[in-house]
Each structure stands twice: as structure tokens, then as C-alpha cells.
């Protein structure tokens, strides 16, 4: 049964949610309060009376390969508005003017260009400012579509988010990251448009935990169905197309629910999780107690230290003991009944473990990005820089230890050495600032 509404949730037009979700949405709620005079009533699914209204699926593709998914949807007869990476990252063109979304002036200028004034323009500018670098162009395109929905030239009933994910964020190869929390703040600037959305599809790994779905539902108060993945999702060329085309057919018209079995027997179909207003959450699994899920996590957690030290090596990023432990982390994060403190600690561990799983990618991209800086710093210390793309985790840790020892015995410290030290320690600690999501 759908949850009852009360208090702040009723005022915002959202159901009652768990404490963790409320915390994530607090920033979005404060933005929505700026525009409380605007109605957030449901938009019924009726045949369009104005044939000029754009009713296409809004498809946000963070990967270049998303074009394959969009092409398949269009070939199946579905109109799609494709939001993709701009030719120049973090810019958007309105009319003859290009706005630089990296600057306050550019973000505010864009907000004014789509017709927002005063507090709303400021709120959109600030929301875009919180979006990660290289993802502001996609976020601004979404804002433009939401504004069109408010003005009546578009009706947004269906949205797809496509990319890589670990649950709380979506990104693309060599692209920026859309965090669920900052995306929520942007959407909250457009409450009337958000109220139109009936169906949401998230073509991304680990996007279908019940707590994550809860957060998306709060963004779109009149959502009828949500499709996501409680595990790994199929790639653009390895199964995403049949999933998306079947989702599209199932969400046409006045559908009030969606059945995960429409992809039964299709690759990764077993990982689909759905939610509908009429039937609730379904990931195809019987409910598990918090105690049993925690026990599995505690048992598998014992292996992590071996991979952190490099004594254990990941042979296959998709299978094996570390992947199993990663899945156990995700199962806990998917729950609504863990504390905010647990969620914070588990999220930190999740971010480290996923970087261990893709260590080969990390080493290659660290070398490609910072190889020159490493050569300069190691030379300043009288050392020869290694090729990080060819080193195991254990070998990298040994190199860092040698670097630290040489720095400690040196009488001077150059800028090169200070800069390299920060990068190397970030590599050692599996820092998200040194190892961005786009490397995974």
C-alpha cells in the first residue's frame, strides 16, 4: 500500500519516507519552499489536446553508448528527447548565446534565458553549481526540458537515466557524475514539471535498492512506476536495448503498475527491481531480515583487508569474493532500516571496494593522467618513476612507501613532490577525489 502523507511530506506533495531519505531530500525541500505558491497537482494521463505539445521520453544518457539505446527506442516508435554530453563540457547554448556553466555569471544567465527570475533563477544557478564538473551540461539540458514542461510546450511523463552507477550517483566514461542529492535540488526548482512525471526508468547498476528508489520517488510526487536494477545492469550493447524497449511498451498510456517479468529470461533480467504506486516494491526476492543481511556482510567483510594490502588480487571485476562482498554492501545500503551513521560508513566502504574491483582501470588512468607529474616528482627525489599502469595494488603500495621514505630523508621538498604526495596518498587510500567515478 502507498504510504500516507503528513507534515512536510504533505506540504511538498511527497509520501512519508525513512529518516535517511528525508536527510538526502532536505536540501531539495528547502528549494521547493521558495516556490510553494506553485501548484504541484497531478497531471492526468489524457490524450493531448494540443498537438504541438512535446510528449517525448526525456532520456538522459551519461555515456556515449546511450545513443544506441536511444536509437532502439526511436526505431520502436517512441519519440525521445536525448540529453547527452555537449560538444564543450559544462556549456549550453540558448538561441545564439553559449552559457559557461562553470561560472556564477554563466549559470545565472542561463537561468534568465529560460525565463526564470529572482529567487528561482538564483536557486537554479546554485543547484547547477553543486553539480559535478562535466555533468552540468546534461543537468542544464534537463532544466531546460523541465522549464518547457512548466510553460506548456512539453509534457514530461517519462524519464530515463542511463549510465554507470553505484546507487547514489550516475556517471559516464570520461564524463561527470550526477549525484542523486544534487539532482534532487535541481528538480525541486521545477515542482510543476516534476509533478508531471509518471514513469521513471534507471538504466544503471545498483539503482534499484528500496532506499534509493524512495529518494527518486520523492523527487517526482505523482510517480506511478519506477524501473531500476538491484544489482548489475546490462550494458548498451549487451542487453540494455530489450530491457528499455519492453519498459517503453509497458509504460505507454495509463499503466498503473509494471511487471519485472517482462524481461524474464533476458540477460540481467533477474536483477530488475520495480516499484509501482499500486503494488509497491518488487525485486523478485523474498524479504530478508536486517540480521541475516548484516551477518552476510560481516562474514564477507573479513576479506577486504587482503585486497586493501594487495595480498589478494581481483581476477575478475564481475565475480569472486570481493564482488560478493560489494553486493553485500549494496544489499545493506538498499535497506530503509539502517541508521544514517551506518549508511555513511557503508557508502565509504562501497566507494573503496568498487575502486579495488576496478584496480586495473585505476592504474591505467592514473598513469595516463598523472604520469608526467609523477616523473617530475620522482626525479626531484632521485628516483625513477614506475609505470603505474603495469603495477599491482601491492606494488603500488611499495612504491608509495619508497617515495615517502625518500621525501622524509630529503632536505628540500619541491612543489612537484608535494603535489605527487597528495596524489599517491589518494591512490593508496582509494580517495574519490583522486580516483573519480569516470575511471571505473
- Read off the pLDDT of residues 413-434 as tens digits, 9 standing for 90 and up: 999 999 999 999 999 999 999 9
Do residue 316 and residue 258 come from a single domain?
no
Please give the pLDDT value at position 23.
Answer: 41
What confidence score (pLDDT) does residue 2 get? 36
Q: How far, in whole angstroms, is CA 356 from its chain's centroid?
A: 19
Encode 141-173: b = buried (16+ Cβ within 10 Å), e = exposed: bbbbbbbbbbeeebbbbbbbbbbbbbbbbbbbe
The C-alpha atoms of residue 66 and residue 185 are separated, in whole angstroms, by: 25
User: Does residue 1 lie in a domain region?
Assistant: no
- Burial, 77: exposed, middle or buried (Cβ in 10 Å; 0-12, 13-18, 19+)? exposed
What pLDDT band is residue 118 in, cutting at 50, 70 and 90? very high
pLDDT at 197: 98
Q: Are residues 180 and 299 in the same domain?
A: no
The arithmetic mean of pLDDT across residues 58-73, rounded, is: 97
Q: Verify that 365 and 309 share a domain, yes or no.
A: no
Q: How many helices (H) and strands (E) does the chain have?
A: 17, 12
Q: Are residues 136 and 275 in the same domain?
A: yes
Instruction: Specify whether 39 is located in the same domain as 163.
Output: yes
Q: Are residues 149 and 233 in the same domain?
A: yes
Is 84 among the domain residues? yes
268 and 310 belong to one structural domain: no
107 and 239 housed in the same domain: yes
* pLDDT of 77 strictly over 60: yes
- Name which of 137, 28, 144 is nearest 91 in CA terms: 137
255 pLDDT band (50/70/90 cuts)? Answer: confident
CA distance 210 to 51: 37
With a CB cutoff of 8 Å and minimum separation 6, the contacts of 317 are: 323, 357, 358, 360
Tell me what pLDDT residue 52 has.
77
Mean pLDDT lowest for which of 37-41, 116-120, 177-181?
37-41
Boundary of a domain, candidates 219, 247, 282: 282
pLDDT at 388: 98
Range of the domain at 126: 7-282
2 in any annotated domain: no
pLDDT tops 50 at residue 246: yes
Residue 111, pLDDT score: 98
pLDDT cut 90: percent of the chain above it: 86
Last residue in a domain, options 282, 305, 340: 282
What average pLDDT does range 104-112 have in this prediction? 98
Q: Which of 6-10, 14-18, 53-57, 385-389 has the highest mean pLDDT?
A: 385-389
With cut-offs at 50, 70 and 90, classify the pLDDT of residue 12.
Answer: very low
In degrees and rounded to multiples of 5, residue 402 shows phi and psi of: -65, -40
49 lies in the same domain as 67: yes
DSSP notation for 120-182: HHHHHHHHHHHSPTT-HHHHHHHHHHHHHHHHTSB---EEEEESEESSSEEE-TTS-EEEHHH
Q: Which of the listed residues 328, 357, 386 is the one where a domain comes to its end?
A: 357
Which pLDDT score, from 0 to 100, does residue 51 have?
56
Residues 135 and 175 placed together within one structural domain of the fold: yes
| Residue 254: band (very low, low, confident or very high) from pLDDT cuts 50, 70, 90 | confident
SS3 content of the chain, % helix, strand, coil (to 5): 50, 10, 40
Give the mean model confidence (pLDDT) for residues 157-163.
98
- Nearest alpha-carbon partner for 192 in 153, 220, 231, 211: 220
In a domain, 31, yes or no: yes
Residues 207 and 319 occupy one common structural domain: no
pLDDT surpassing 50 at residue 325: yes
Domain count, the chain: 3
pLDDT in tens, 184-209: 999 999 999 999 999 999 999 999 99
Average pLDDT value for the chain: 90
Q: Which of 25-29, 148-152, 421-425 shows the lowest per-residue confidence on average (mean pLDDT)?
A: 25-29
Query: Is residue 200 domain-resident?
Result: yes
Same domain, 252 and 165: yes
Q: Inter-axis angle of helices 321-333 and 340-357, to 10 degrees?
A: 150
Domain assignment present for residue 18? The answer is yes
Amino acid at each position: 500500500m502507498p504510504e500516507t502523507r503528513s507534515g512536510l511530506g504533505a506540504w511538498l506533495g511527497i509520501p512519508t519516507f525513512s529518516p535517511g531519505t528525508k536527510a538526502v531530500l532536505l536540501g531539495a525541500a528547502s528549494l521547493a519552499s521558495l516556490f510553494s505558491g506553485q501548484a504541484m497537482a497531478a497531471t492526468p494521463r489524457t490524450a493531448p489536446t494540443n498537438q504541438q505539445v512535446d510528449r517525448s521520453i526525456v532520456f538522459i544518457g551519461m555515456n556515449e553508448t546511450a545513443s544506441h539505446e536511444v536509437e532502439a527506442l526511436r526505431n520502436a516508435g517512441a519519440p525521445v528527447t536525448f540529453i547527452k554530453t555537449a560538444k564543450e563540457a559544462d556549456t549550453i547554448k540558448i538561441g545564439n548565446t553559449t552559457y559557461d556553466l562553470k561560472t556564477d555569471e554563466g549559470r545565472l544567465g542561463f537561468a534568465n534565458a529560460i525565463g526564470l527570475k529572482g529567487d528561482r533563477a538564483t536557486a537554479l544557478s546554485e543547484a547547477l553549481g553543486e553539480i559535478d564538473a562535466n555533468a552540468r551540461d546534461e543537468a542544464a539540458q534537463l532544466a531546460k526540458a523541465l522549464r518547457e514542461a512548466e510553460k506548456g510546450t512539453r509534457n514530461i511523463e517519462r524519464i530515463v537515466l542511463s549510465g554507470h552507477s553505484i546507487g547514489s550517483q550516475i556517471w559516464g566514461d570520461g564524463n561527470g557524475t550526477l549525484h542523486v542529492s544534487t539532482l534532487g535540488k535541481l528538480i525541486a526548482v521545477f515542482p510543476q514539471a516534476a509533478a508531471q512525471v509518471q514513469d521513471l526508468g534507471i538504466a544503471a547498476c545498483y539503482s534499484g535498492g528500496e532506499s534509493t528508489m524512495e529518494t527518486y520517488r520523492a523527487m517526482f510526487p505523482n510517480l506511478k512506476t519506477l524501473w531500476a536494477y538491484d544489482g548489475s545492469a546490462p550494458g548498451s550493447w549487451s542487453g540494455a536495448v530489450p530491457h528499455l524497449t519492453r519498459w517503453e511498451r509497458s509504460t505507454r498510456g495509463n499503466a498503473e503498475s509494471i511487471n519485472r517479468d517482462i524481461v524474464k529470461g533476458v540477460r540481467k533480467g533477474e536483477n530488475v527491481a520495480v516499484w509501482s504506486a499500486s503494488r509497491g516494491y518488487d525485486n523478485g526476492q523474498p524479504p530478508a531480515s536486517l540480521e541475516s543481511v548484516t551477518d552476510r556482510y560481516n562474514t564477507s567483510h573479513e576479506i577486504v583487508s587482503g585486497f586493501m594490502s594487495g595480498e589478494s588480487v581481483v581476477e575478475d571485476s564481475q565475480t569472486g569474493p570481493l564482488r560478493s562482498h560489494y553486493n553485500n554492501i549494496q544489499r545493506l545500503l538498499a535497506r530503509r532500516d539502517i541508521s544514517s551513521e551506518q549508511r555513511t560508513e557503508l557508502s565509504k566502504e562501497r566507494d573503496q571496494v568498487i575502486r579495488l574491483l576496478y584496480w586495473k582501470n585505476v592504474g591505467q588512468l592514473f598513469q595516463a593522467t598523472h604520469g608526467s607529474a609523477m616523473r617530475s616528482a620522482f626525479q626531484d627525489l632521485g628516483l625513477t618513476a614506475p609505470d603505474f599502469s603495469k603495477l599491482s595494488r601491492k606494488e603500488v603500495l611499495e612504491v608509495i612507501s619508497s617515495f615517502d621514505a625518500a621525501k622524509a630523508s630529503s632536505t628540500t621538498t619541491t612543489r612537484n613532490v608535494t603535489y605527487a604526495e597528495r596524489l599517491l596518498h589518494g591512490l593508496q587510500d582509494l580517495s574519490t577525489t583522486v580516483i573519480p567515478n569516470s575511471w571505473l
